Chain A
């Protein structure tokens, strides 16, 4: 009877030992993990510096004087009215780089205007009175025009619209939908 009682006591102790053993293992594991941070280490600083990113900001204005802030502009409505077959009209616009990063100007037309069979748009670097480069015929896909424009500078471009000679007589007196010249300023990477 007494032996049975002792056995029962031992049986009761087993879970306690197991619990103590488990707790100890966990503690040792914790010490081991924490201890790895206490190993030797040294450090040597890298010369302090700071990275400042620049900016890329484009503006546009009609005429040969740039705008410090405008990102859209409208041509004088009379600039391209009453055009005759074979006639070409030009107007100067100026793009400004008011940021710090050089960019290339890529020009394109809205899809409807680009699909026009009797109108041809071209953009050339320089003012219309003194073009500074070959014109680029515009389409719905952006195309680079002129050289890179560095920060804090302005550059003028000449937009020329030509009405085809073979435009049908039935088009006389009609108005083409307003066109949109899209100018993208893409970071220049030599």
Chain B
């Protein structure tokens, strides 16, 4: 059998399969419903309420500190949901010398509805674990953000008359793998 004949036979077989496949639509058929239930997605949200700064410093100098305390409510619903609460100091902008001198830290008070555990090696980051991960019961805790201008952070006249904007600072809740 030469190559041309082989090619024609192969083409014919393919055509026959197509016809047979299309023909099943007009012949007997049946279906069965698989009741697999529903897929319900979880929830991951964070809200901060009642946030206040403990004092208003008009002109900061080395040694000054201000704290911001807010009640944070986290909903972390998901059977296999892992997430972390943090703040991102890199979102702060301002004059470089003062920016470099300031220290920003976050701490968590008594937690209800779950746990917020500091992550080793990752400052200002907390693992979020809900006590009832299949529900939307919130995890609540007072969270304090402390902004410090350490006394030993500058010398001479470094960082005087400068400003840093904290408007970009947020509590971040991020799902982790």
- Listed in ascending order, the chain A residues whose CB lies under 8 Å from chain B are 36, 39-57, 99-101, 187, 189
Contact = CB atoms under 8 A, between A and B. Distances in A.
Contacts of B70: 46-47
Nearest to A103: B61
Tell me if A's interface is mostly helix, strand, loop or mixed: loop
A117 B130 CA distance: 76
A44 B145 CA distance: 13
B175 interface: yes
A112 to B, nearest CB: 26
Given A41-B175, A46-B48, A46-B87, A52 B145 contact: no
Contacts of A47: 51-53, 68, 70
Interface string B28-70: 0000000000000000111110011100011111110010101
Going nearest first, the 8 A-B pairs with the smallest beta carbon separation are A54-B59, A39-B175, A44-B48, A40-B175, A40-B44, A100-B59, A101-B61, A48-B167
A46 B51 contact: yes
B59 A50 contact: no
A40 B45 CA distance: 9
A101 B154 CA distance: 14
Nearest to A102: B61
A13 B8 CA distance: 28
A112 B31 CA distance: 107
B59 A53 contact: yes
A50 B165 contact: yes
Interface string B88-109: 0000001000100010000000
A33 B12 CA distance: 48
Nearest to A45: B170
A189 B149 CA distance: 13
B174 A54 contact: no
8 contacts: A36-B177, A42-B173, A44-B48, A51-B102, A55-B157, A55-B161, A56-B160, A57-B157
A56 B158 CA distance: 10
A53 to B, nearest CB: 5
Q: Which of A48, A49, A56, A99 has the most CB of B within 10 A?
A: A49
A144 to B, nearest CB: 17
A21 B102 CA distance: 49
B83 interface: yes
B98 to A, nearest CB: 5
B176 interface: yes
Contacts of A57: 157
Given A41-B44, A51-B98, A57-B157, 13 more contacts: A39-B174, A39-B175, A40-B81, A42-B44, A46-B169, A49-B53, A51-B57, A51-B163, A53-B60, A54-B59, A54-B61, A56-B157, A189-B62
Contacts of B119: none
B151 interface: yes
B59 A101 contact: yes
Contact of A51 (B44, B81, B166): B166
A40 B172 CA distance: 11
Given A41-B172, A56-B160, A187-B63, A50 B167 contact: yes
